[in-house]
A and B are shown apart, each in its own frame.
Chain A
Amino acid sequence: MSTIVLLTLTGLALAAMYFLLAAGLSLIFGLMDVLNFAHGAFFTWGAYVAWWTVGRAADVLGPTGAFLLALVAATLAVAALAAAVEIGLLRPLYRRPIYQVLVTLGIGLALSQLTSVIWRPDARPFPQPDWLVATSTVFGARVPNNRFLLIAAALAVLGGLLLFLRRTRYGLIVRAGAENREMVQALGIDVDRAFTLVFALGGALAGLGGVFGAAYFGSINPNFGSVNLIFAFIVVVIGGLGSVTGSALAAVVIGLAQQFGNYYTSWAGDFVVVLLLAVVLLVRPRGLLGTLQ
């Protein structure tokens, strides 16, 4: 029983991390039709900004204060980085989707290399407050507290995103823009501004996800984001392109499948994920909750 509980909660925490990464990807693709291959590098940079911040702030603010500051710093720094990428590199290419893909791929590779150059390619332990690495007992299973924090953060982000999409004017613009960008412009709305906002929001989520991902794995390295990006793409496709709720649902399926698969065999976790992807693509190509054809 305790093993099932542990696997379930750890699987949900993994799902939460995938969701934080996938939600930004899904939003960006939904509005902008941009497959952002730099998203993994944003995730990595979130983790490294957090690691750097904690290293400098821990003495002054204490472990918890430094961790909280790292969350804010990583979120804002990666949001700013994403906004700069969108304005400087993607905006001139909106009529050339293939170039966009190549540019995001190039940015991803360049940022990963830059991470290696600045912070060296070897893995670094990620410092966290003691209470986060301590465990709580749930039905006999000892679960690290950072798993609960990760799940709570993902739920908060899901709720926040749904409120943003359903209750705010920018949310309306994002939903309408996913259907027909030209008509949004024809209503007097500056779509470029909405693109920058959504790209920055996606970056912010990747940055936040990077911090929690670092806490989940306990260490970071320059390829940290690109490995997880593959699963985030699978989550987006299974959930349905452009659907945040679909991404959340798919992340739970993938996180649990991977965790249980890896526990019972040494190889089945990733295999089950790819199998699920294949089944969804064959049976329901638009994904669980996707509306795009």
Chain B
Amino acid sequence: MIAAAPAIRGAGSGVEPLLRLTDVHAYIGESHILQGVSFGALPGRVTVLLGRNGAGKTTTLRTILGLLPAARGAIDFAGEAVVGVRPHALVRRGVGYVPEDRDVFGGLTVAENLRLAQRPGAPRDGIARVHALFPDLERRAGQRAGSLSGGQQQMVAIARALVNDNRLLLIDEPSKGLAPVVVTQMTDALAAIKGTTTILLVEQNLAVARALGDDAVVLDDGRVVFTGAMSEVAEDAALQARYLGAGARA
């Protein structure tokens, strides 16, 4: 289904989306990047945000988090409007963010990165939990994060989002720039937490998207052109060719 005016998935199904965007517009400088984006992320499911480079995927995540102001439209998280809520305040409501470039604090050790991410009141076993998921991080706890490999830094970035009991995870291209073997490790780790929390995942790698995604939203030039099941995207070669292009890796 390629929708000209996509419906918010979940609407009418009786299940309210945990996150809902309605006609969201956002600019970077003078450029009108998001041009009326509407979709919802259902609780407990992985919604994959797909699209070519420059379609507005990262901008969507940054706008949800408040790192970029929404010029128009509504964003609701857990039934509350969050446009204008400052990023740290939104995160404290239970949102974890894994940015595209990992953005680990290179001068801090792995343990310090995780300690910093652990919010006051977070579960005490949060760090033990991420160590169980990424045993390598426990072994490298005292190592400066800046000296880690790309894959290990990605583990730190994801682990930072998992040390708290977040209700929503915004994960931006976790497989970007990683060796295939590391991508597999990363996918396995994310699969292990699937179902325990709601995830909005930006992913160019179609194999990763297919392995993790329940629902899919396809963006093109800042507009939603498809919402549906991830399996529909995986099976629709025409949609892939038209909207995902060469950027999507099978």
Contact = CB atoms under 8 A, between A and B. Distances in A.
Interface of A: 169, 172-173, 175-176, 178-180, 182-191, 291
Contacts of A184: 116
A188 B112 CA distance: 15
A189 B87 CA distance: 9
Contact of A179 (B86, B91, B106): B106
Nearest to A291: B107
B105 A175 contact: yes
A183 B105 contact: yes
Q: Which are the 8 A-B pairs with shortest beta-carbon distances?
A: A188-B91, A183-B103, A176-B105, A185-B87, A186-B97, A188-B92, A172-B116, A185-B88
Contacts of B160: 187
A186 B106 contact: no
Interface string B137-181: 000000000000000000000001000100000000000000000
9 contacts: A169-B115, A173-B116, A179-B108, A185-B67, A187-B97, A187-B116, A188-B88, A188-B92, A191-B88
A188 B164 CA distance: 11
Interface in B50-96: 65, 67, 86-89, 91-92
A216 B97 CA distance: 51
B119 interface: yes
Given A172-B112, A172-B116, A176-B116, A187 B107 contact: no
Contacts of B8: none
A172 B115 contact: yes
B183 interface: no
The residue in B88, B91, B92, B164 that gathers the most chain A C-beta atoms within 10 A of its C-beta is B88
B116 A179 contact: no
Nearest to B115: A172
Given A175-B107, A186-B97, A187-B91, 20 more contacts: A172-B108, A172-B115, A175-B108, A175-B112, A179-B105, A180-B105, A183-B105, A184-B116, A185-B86, A185-B87, A185-B91, A186-B88, A186-B99, A186-B103, A187-B88, A188-B91, A188-B164, A189-B116, A190-B86, A291-B107
B133 interface: no
Contacts of A187: 88, 91, 97, 116-117, 119, 160
Nearest to A177: B105
A169 B92 CA distance: 17
Contacts of B67: 182, 185-186
Chain A CB count within 10 A is highest, among B89, B103, B105, B160, for B105
Contacts of B103: 180, 182-183, 186
Nearest to A193: B88
A169 B114 CA distance: 12
Given A172-B112, A176-B116, A186 B87 contact: yes
A76 B86 CA distance: 30
A176 B146 CA distance: 12
A134 to B, nearest CB: 45
Given A173-B116, A176-B116, A186 B105 contact: no
Contacts of B97: 186-187
Given A172-B108, A172-B115, A190 B99 contact: no
Nearest to A172: B116
B73 to A, nearest CB: 21
A286 to B, nearest CB: 13
Contacts of B164: 188
A188 B106 contact: no
A179 B107 CA distance: 8
Contacts of B108: 172, 175-176, 179
A189 B107 CA distance: 18
A189 B88 contact: yes
A172 B112 CA distance: 7
A169 B115 CA distance: 8
Contacts of A182: 67, 103
